[in-house]
């Protein structure tokens, strides 16, 4: 047997072994974090969601960020609001237990369309959208496309601007070739992610510490699947390709709301992503000493912020209705 054949055989054995390891980690992740809610089909995939609270009350829709899942909200924040609001948390298309059919659906307009179609199917309009990180960009896309169906925006550490560089911790996801993305996702990505998880979580949560139960209660174990890597990679590329056009539309933004950031966020700059949006009617708030993962590390502060946004929008809507009624007399 020639040297080349021996090397090829060893390489083949290595990648088969990585694939088997990936399958084992995937199964463990599904067992640790089972499906919590229901799944509704939409054009191009399906949306997995959970809901709590009285459906006759104001609806709040929660949309998570890159490489996340709805458990980022069920961890604590959802329960803090469910007594007074109708709260829905969704897995973005392709994330958690939601699905999507192709890489092109990672673009912001497509993710927004799929979630809005889900809300339409549920008969929900006039929702307060709470988007964290990349979910903030999706929320903005929904508000721009359907302002009549969006009551307000309560954005938590949102991506609002085009980034000059992908955050370092997410650099490995910046793969623009679909076959390579799929090959890596089904071989080495998941085992490497399992080994580097402490470092990754440390970077994402900095300057705070990731909770010990993040993999289970916050759904982090679902990230140890080929689909999670592939979707996150598609998101990085799809958002990069589509957010420029979205930024150009912010002058059309008519939905009220605000932005809340951890002042020490090292994943997305509060200065670059928060302050510019005040020109388009959104308030800009910061919490000292906190980083990027405030839905998990500061749920009480996030809940208070969301309440202010929802209640202010409600008062404004009532005043507008009274003004319209008075004008008709």
Whole-number Å distance between alpha carbons of 262 and 290 = 4
Nearest Cα neighbor of 83 from 101, 64, 60 is 60
Whole-number Å distance between alpha carbons of 292 and 201 = 11
Residue 1: pLDDT band with limits 50, 70, 90: low
Q: How far is CA 311 from the centre of its chain?
A: 24
Query: What confidence tens digit (pLDDT) does each residue in 250-307 have?
Result: 999 999 999 999 999 999 999 999 999 999 999 999 999 999 999 999 999 999 999 9
- Per-residue pLDDT at 178: 96
Domain assignment present for residue 258? The answer is: yes
Nearest Cα neighbor of 281 from 126, 153, 135 is 153
* Predicted confidence (pLDDT) at residue 323 exceeds the cutoff of 80: no
* Predicted confidence (pLDDT) at residue 181 exceeds the cutoff of 70: yes
| Position with higher pLDDT, 213 vs 17 | 213
Considering the chain, what is the average pLDDT of its residues? 94
- Per-residue pLDDT at 200: 95
Mean pLDDT value of segment 188-192: 93
| Position with higher pLDDT, 1 vs 149 | 149
* Predicted confidence (pLDDT) at residue 112 exceeds the cutoff of 90: yes
* Predicted confidence (pLDDT) at residue 322 exceeds the cutoff of 70: no
- DSSP codes, 233-283: HHHHHHHHHHHHHHHTTGGG----EEEEEETT-SSS-HHHHTGGGGGGTEE
Query: What confidence tens digit (pLDDT) does each residue in 230-246 have?
Result: 999 999 999 999 999 99
- Per-residue pLDDT at 40: 98
Domain count, the chain: 1
Whole-number Å distance between alpha carbons of 77 and 64 = 12
Return the CATH number at 33.
3.40.50.1820
- Phi, psi (deg, nearest 5) at residue 63: -125, 120
* Predicted confidence (pLDDT) at residue 320 exceeds the cutoff of 60: no
The token pair that represents 183 in the structure block = 């090959």
> Cα dist. 123→49, 135, 265 in Å?
14, 21, 36
Domain assignment present for residue 329? The answer is: no
Query: What confidence tens digit (pLDDT) does each residue in 143-157 have?
Result: 999 999 999 999 999
Whole-number Å distance between alpha carbons of 52 and 88 = 7
Domain assignment present for residue 328? The answer is: no
Whole-number Å distance between alpha carbons of 100 and 117 = 13
Which range marks the domain in which residue 112 is found?
3-323
DSSP letter at 203? H
- Per-residue pLDDT at 105: 97
Domain assignment present for residue 261? The answer is: yes
Return the SS3 of 61: strand
Residue 11: pLDDT band with limits 50, 70, 90: confident
The token pair that represents 247 in the structure block = 């930024």
Give, for 327, the enclosing helix (H) or strand (E). Answer: helix 299-328
Measured distance between the N- and C-terminal CA atoms of the chain, rounded to whole angstroms? 94
Proportion of the chain above pLDDT 90, given as a percent: 85
CA angle 248, 249, 255 (to 5 degrees): 140
Query: What confidence tens digit (pLDDT) does each residue in 294-303 have?
Result: 999 999 999 9
Domain assignment present for residue 214? The answer is: yes
DSSP letter at 172? G
Residue 10: pLDDT band with limits 50, 70, 90: confident
DSSP letter at 288? T
- Per-residue pLDDT at 321: 43
By the 8 A CB rule, do 57 and 84 touch? yes
Query: What confidence tens digit (pLDDT) does each residue in 30-87 have?
Result: 999 999 999 999 999 999 999 999 999 999 999 999 999 999 999 999 999 999 999 9
* Sequence-separated (6 or more) residues with CB below 8 Å from residue 246: 108, 109, 137, 140, 141, 144
Residue 183: pLDDT band with limits 50, 70, 90: very high
Domain assignment present for residue 277? The answer is: yes
Mean pLDDT value of segment 13-28: 85
- Per-residue pLDDT at 19: 87
- Per-residue pLDDT at 6: 72
């Amino acid at each position: 047997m020639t040297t080349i054949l021996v090397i090829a055989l060893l390489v083949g054995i290595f990648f088969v072994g990585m694939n088997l390891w990936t399958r084992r980690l995937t199964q463990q992740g599904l067992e640790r974090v089972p499906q919590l809610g229901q799944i509704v089909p939409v054009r191009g995939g399906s949306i997995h969601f959970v809901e709590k609270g009285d459906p006759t009350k104001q609806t709040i829709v929660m949309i998570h960020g890159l490489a996340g899942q709805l458990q980022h909200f069920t961890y604590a924040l959802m329960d803090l609001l469910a007594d007074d609001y109708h709260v829905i948390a969704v897995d973005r298309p392709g994330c958690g237990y939601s699905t999507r059919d192709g890489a092109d659906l990672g673009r912001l307009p497509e993710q927004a369309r799929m979630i809005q179609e889900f809300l339409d199917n549920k008969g929900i309009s006039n929702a307060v959208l709470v988007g964290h990180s990349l979910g903030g960009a999706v929320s903005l896309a929904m508000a721009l496309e359907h302002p009549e169906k969006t009551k307000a925006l309560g954005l938590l550490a949102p991506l609002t601007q085009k980034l000059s560089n992908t955050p370092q911790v997410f650099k490995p996801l910046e793969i623009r070739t679909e076959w390579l993305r799929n090959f890596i996702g089904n071989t080495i990505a998941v085992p490497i992610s399992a080994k580097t998880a402490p470092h990754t979580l440390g970077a994402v949560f900095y300057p705070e510490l990731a909770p010990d139960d993040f993999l289970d209660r916050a759904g982090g174990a679902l990230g140890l699947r080929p689909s999670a890597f592939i979707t996150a990679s598609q998101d990085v590329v799809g958002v990069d390709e589509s957010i420029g056009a979205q930024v150009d539309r912010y002058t059309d933004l008519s939905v009220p709301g605000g932005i809340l950031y951890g002042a020490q966020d090292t994943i997305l700059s509060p200065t670059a992503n928060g302050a510019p949006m005040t020109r388009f009617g959104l308030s800009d708030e910061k919490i000292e000493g906190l980083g990027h993962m405030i839905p998990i590390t500061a749920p009480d502060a996030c809940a208070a912020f969301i309440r202010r946004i929802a209640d202010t929008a409600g008062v404004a809507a009532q005043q507008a209705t009274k003004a319209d009624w008075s004008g008709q007399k």
